[in-house]
A and B are shown apart, each in its own frame.
Chain A
Amino acid sequence: DAGITQSPRHKVTETGTPVTLRCHQTENHRYMYWYRQDPGHGLRLIHYSYGVKDTDKGEVSDGYSVSRSKTEDFLLTLESATSSQTSVYFCAIRDDMNYGYTFGSGTRLTVV
C-alpha cells in the first residue's frame, strides 16, 4: 500500500524466541496501529502510537511490546513467541487530515 510498508511479509519462528515486526510509513502521520487477525476473531487492536515514544495498549496487548523512536517506524515485538501468536499482523496509519486509515499488506507469522 502506498506510504506504508510492513516487514517481513512472512516469518516462521520457534516458540520462545523473540520476534520483531516492522511498520514503516513515508507519510509522516502521527497515529500508527498494530492489529492481528485470526479466523473467528476478525481484526483486533494490539497496540497503537500517537507520537514518538507515545504508545498505548489495545485489546490484546499481552505478550507484545511496541516502540516508536521515529515518526516513520513502529515496531511490534513478541518477547517470547508462543503458538497462540501465530497470526496475520497488520499495521495501519491514520491520515492526520482526513482521519482515514491506511493498512499495510500484512505479516504472516507462524510460531512452531
Chain B
Amino acid sequence: DAKTTQPPSMDCAEGRAANLPCNHSTISGNEYVYWYRQIHSQGPQYIIHGLKNNETNEMASLIITEDRKSSTLILPHATLRDTAVYYCIVRVARGSNYKLTFGKGTLLTVNP
C-alpha cells in the first residue's frame, strides 16, 4: 500500500469547515483513498473513500487532485463531536492484500 503523509494536528472553529490534507505521492492507479476517524476510546469509523473522482456523503466530502498525489477531506460544518484522529489510508480495494494499515493520522481539535 502507498504511504501517506498527514499533519500531526489541526485546529478548527466550531461551525467552520475543516479541511484535512493527505499526501500520497506514490499512489498506484488501482489504489483507493480511504478516510477513517477515531474518536477517543472508540473504534475507528469509516468516513468516505474514492478513486479519482470527488466524493460526497452525509459525513464529508473527499477532494482528490487530478494527479491523485494528494487529497483533502472536508467536514463542511465541524462540531465539537468531530474532534478525533483522522486517518488517510491508501490501498487496493480488491485483491490479495486485504489488510488495512493505519499511520499516525491527524488529531483534529474543534474549538467552541
- CB of A33 within 8 A of CB of B99, answer yes
- CB of A101 within 8 A of CB of B42, answer no
Residues of chain A contacted by B36 (CB below 8 angstroms): 101
Report, as a range, how many residues of chain B touch the other chain: 10 to 19
Knowing A42-B105, A99-B93, A100-B49 touch, does A33 contact B42 (C-beta < 8 A)? no
Q: How far is the CA of A62 from the CA of B36 in the complex (A)?
A: 27
Q: How far is the CA of A43 from the CA of B36 in the complex (A)?
A: 12
Q: How far is the CA of A88 from the CA of B104 in the complex (A)?
A: 16
Of A13-21, A72-80, A102-110, which binds chain B? Answer: A102-110
- CB of B99 within 8 A of CB of A43, answer no
Residues of chain B contacted by A31 (CB below 8 angstroms): 98
Q: How far is the CA of A88 from the CA of B40 in the complex (A)?
A: 12
Nearest chain-A residue to B32 (Cβ)?
A: A99
Q: How far is the CA of A76 from the CA of B102 in the complex (A)?
A: 20
Contact among B43, B49, B101, B103 for A1, CB-based, below 8 A: B43
Nearest chain-A residue to B48 (Cβ)?
A: A100
Segment 79-98 of B: residues with Cβ below 8 Å from A: 93-94, 98
**Interface 1/0s, chain A 22-57, versus B by CB < 8 A?**
000000000101000000001111001010000000
Q: B31 to chain A: closest CB distance in Å?
A: 12
Q: B48 to chain A: closest CB distance in Å?
A: 10
Q: How far is the CA of A103 from the CA of B36 in the complex (A)?
A: 11
Q: A residues engaging B (CB < 8 A)?
A: 1, 31, 33, 42-45, 48, 50, 58, 88, 90, 92, 94, 99-106
Q: B residues engaging A (CB < 8 A)?
A: 36, 41-46, 49, 93-94, 98-105
